[in-house]
Amino acid sequence: MTTILLIKSADNQRFITEVFESIVDTGEDVHLLQLPSAPDFDSSLQETISMSDCDVSYKIHTLPKEDTATNLIEFAIEVNADRICLGILNRTSAGKAQVDELMQSLLLHQRLSGNLTFGEQIMSLEALECETRPSTV
Amino acid sequence: MLRIKFEMPLAGISSTVLAIDDQIRNIEIDNALPVADNAVILSLTIQCDSAVSAETLLNKLSNIQVIDISQTETEGYTYHLGVLTETSNAPVLISLTTNETIPHRIIGKHSHIEIIASMRDWNHLKTVAGTIEEKFGEIKLVGTTQTDSIGFPLGANKVKQTMSGKLSQKQLTVLETAYRMGYFTIPQEVNAKEIADELDISRSTLSERLRGAEHALCALLFGPRT
């Protein structure tokens, strides 16, 4: 199983902890994907991960292009992701996870399908299927 | 099952009502009952920021058959309407139900319609969003959560709405805060002073508003004191 966790802000330690301790299983691969719009948090990410007691291999990436759903899907295809995790940064007054522009683009993207599930602070696109871009040839 | 809150462009009876007067803040579909010949009976709540007379509403809604109109007691600018109209005046509701979505709230505001609805799963959300966008224009997802229960279609907020017509906003706020903080549990989790501090009001004001709310609740349950 391969998991992508989107890193969107400095306030992501709690999301990393939940993904590593409650969502992924031992032996899985995790790709921590920093969005270009987010500052560089490499050092604080590694500190957080080293503090959590889990045995998963992880890599930290920065999305090379702008943080659009299409670029994210290309990355998901590249790493053969089964799951994309998004931290719930804010909630509505009724407790719903607030949906931002990128999240909406992912949820409504025609090339992406699977199951949408919720953890404590993580929204997870599970059993992910990414349709490859149609060939132009 | 997913509960989704989203916004979409104005359409149908929402845009008709909101065009009547700038003072109309919102219109909500509380209930809907299909009748023969592509018609539907709608229960509506219209909230205004300041005085908009019932006559103005009735005159401007001359193309819709208003069965009943009443004004709430404490919220002076809130009207409840029962109307008989063609289903084409409720296109959003029809679109949602045709797509097997359960609408919980449909609220027309000045710039958009706000909708809370339950959908089966992610694929269902994409299908519904696609249909809505094709018919009405771009939508904006606001929030989402997972739920085990289907919930009530429309009118889910009916009890609160009924109460909001009988209780003032201040009384409702006091009642809700007291409830959420555990004032009514046995044993009590907070005392009156803690609630008053939370609301930044005096204990005597808190007591007055709570008693007012309890009185209104009793009046609703048992009718007026004779």
Angle at B114 between CA B146 and CA B79, to 5 degrees: 125
Report the predicted TM-score, pTM, of the whole model to 2 decimal places.
Answer: 0.80
pLDDT band at residue B151, thresholds of 50, 70 and 90? confident
Average pLDDT of the residues of chain B = 89
Q: What is the pLDDT of residue A27?
A: 84
Q: Which structure tokens are listed for B29?
A: 């579909």
Q: Which one, of B135, B96, B3, lies nearest residue A95 by Cα?
A: B3
Residue B72, pLDDT > 70, answer yes
Q: Which structure tokens are listed for B71?
A: 């004004």
Distance from C-alpha of B199 to C-alpha of B172, rounded to nearest angstrom:
12
Would you state the torsion angle of the CA atoms of residues B171, B177, B181, B185, taken in this order, to the nearest 10 degrees?
Answer: 30
pLDDT for A98-125, tens place per residue?
Answer: 999 999 999 999 999 999 999 999 999 9
Q: pLDDT over 90 for what percent of chain B? A: 63
Residue A84, pLDDT > 80, answer yes
A96 touches chain B (CB under 8 A): yes
> To which residue do tokens 């797509």 refer?
B99
The verdict on a CB contact (< 8 Å) between A96 and B146 is no
A129: chain B residues, CB-CB within 8 Å: none
Of A114, A118, A125, the CB nearest to B145: A118
Q: What is the pLDDT of residue B220?
A: 73
**Helix, strand or coil, per DSSP, at residue B178:** helix
Q: Could you give the C-alpha distances from B219 to A64, A83, B39, B206, B215, in angstroms and in order?
A: 65, 54, 36, 20, 6
Mean pLDDT, residues B199-223 = 88
Q: Nearest C-alpha of chain B: how many angstroms from A90?
A: 9
Mean pLDDT, residues B13-38 = 92
A103: chain B residues, CB-CB within 8 Å: 141
CB atoms within 10 A of CB B191: 12
A116 touches chain B (CB under 8 A): yes
pLDDT band at residue A57, thresholds of 50, 70 and 90? confident
Q: Nearest C-alpha of chain B: how many angstroms from A107?
A: 7
Taking the CA atoms of chain A, what radius of gyration do you get in angstroms?
A: 14
Lowest mean per-residue pLDDT among A94-103, A104-113, B151-160, B175-184: B151-160
Distance from C-alpha of A127 to C-alpha of A132, rounded to nearest angstrom:
16
Residue B68, pLDDT > 60, answer yes
Higher pLDDT, B123 or A62: B123
Q: What is the pLDDT of residue A108?
A: 96
pLDDT band at residue B88, thresholds of 50, 70 and 90? very high
**Helix, strand or coil, per DSSP, at residue B117:** strand
**Helix, strand or coil, per DSSP, at residue A81:** coil
Q: Which structure tokens are listed for B196?
A: 């008053």
User: Model ipTM?
Assistant: 0.87
Distance from C-alpha of A108 to C-alpha of B16, rounded to nearest angstrom:
30
Which chain B residue is nearest to residue A129, measuring alpha carbons? B123
Which chain A residue is nearest to residue B3, measuring alpha carbons? A96
